[in-house]
Amino acid sequence: MRRGTVAALDSLRGLALGDAFGETWFPVLRAGGDALALIRARRTPGADRWPWTDDTALAAALLRAAWPDGAVEPDAVAREFGLAYRADDGRGYASGMHELLPRLAEEPGAWRAASRALFGGEGSLGNGAAMRAAPLGALLARDPGLAAERAVVAAEVTHRHPEGVAGAVAVTVAAALAVTARGPVDPGALLRRVAGFTPAGLVREGLERGATLPAATAPGTAAEALGSGARMRADDTVPFALWSAARHLDDLTGALWCVAEGLGDVDTTCAITGGVVAARVGVAAAPEEWLRRAEPLPAWAPAA
């Protein structure tokens, strides 16, 4: 098995690459361009630089808090999230995070009440805890059960709704299993294993549906069945992102093209998929042009 720190850094690099690759489609869509036609033709937009978003900022912050042994202390996680937000709050954070994160750099323990108070006291069921989770799973690949437990702790700092937590658990475990799986991996079997660690609810049901989709299912059809993140909910994002990863577990480039076909919250679905697949294979085989265009990791991210 690859060392956890090596796999975790590769996962973070793949997550950031996926985030930047996915984010570059939004200007095309806003300009009325046919992003889907470009994706199916395997042609990237012409932007010279691909910036990453809050997905990468918070993934790097979580990994920094858990570095190097995978320990997750929620106040430390909250502080790192707050500092990442304060360093650059213009990375596309969701509305609830603009309310929560500014407090956490100075008052990390505020998450205990503040994260639960979001959205009328239900807590967030968004995809934000899932989008940042893959590197933690890679770091804890030696024990997917422990990875699932710590995913809950890390998720609850910002996402207290059970579905928001479940999304983070699923992505964390998927990355852990991607690192340890040997030989060719059956996509349906992998999704069923991930579902087995995921709390009961809509996220797990989506994973179970994904496991039953025929091998020839097109990405657009899968996105219609599983959700592409258009609602920015964990249950509407994680199953399709992990279905795409499971289908291309040894091919980062193919995985990102696949998940991009779903459009929706394409930076986040690509970040999740990229983080899971790169935990297994790294980013070296990605197109050189992509690696050149994608924004480097933040200077404060963990380093080898």
Does the annotation list 268 as a binding residue?
Answer: yes
Counting Cα atoms < 13 Å in the Cβ hemisphere of 220 gives 5
Please give the C-alpha separations between residue 173 and each of 69, 87, 140, 177, 182, in angstroms, as whole numbers. Answer: 16, 29, 9, 6, 16
Q: Do 140 and 62 touch, CB atoms closer than 8 A?
A: no
Give the pair of three-digit tokens for residue 282.
């790294």
Does the annotation list 54 as a binding residue?
Answer: yes
At 269, which helix (H) or strand (E)?
helix 266-281
Does the annotation list 265 as a binding residue?
Answer: yes
Does the annotation list 19 as a binding residue?
Answer: no
Q: Identify the burial level of 193 via C-beta atoms within 10 angstroms of its C-beta, where 0-12 means exposed, 13-18 middle and 19 or more buried.
A: buried
Does the annotation list 53 as a binding residue?
Answer: yes
Q: Do 174 and 280 touch, CB atoms closer than 8 A?
A: no
Does the annotation list 55 as a binding residue?
Answer: yes
221: how many CB neighbours lie within 10 A of its CB?
14
Listed in order, strand segments (DSSP E) in 223-288 are none
Give the separation between CA 230 and CA 262, rounded to whole angstroms: 9
* Helices 187-197 and 162-180: angle between axes, nearest 10 degrees: 130
Q: Identify the burial level of 125 via C-beta atoms within 10 angstroms of its C-beta, where 0-12 means exposed, 13-18 middle and 19 or more buried.
A: buried
| Binding site feature residues for Mg(2+) | 53-55, 265, 267-268
| Binding site feature residues | 53-55, 265, 267-268
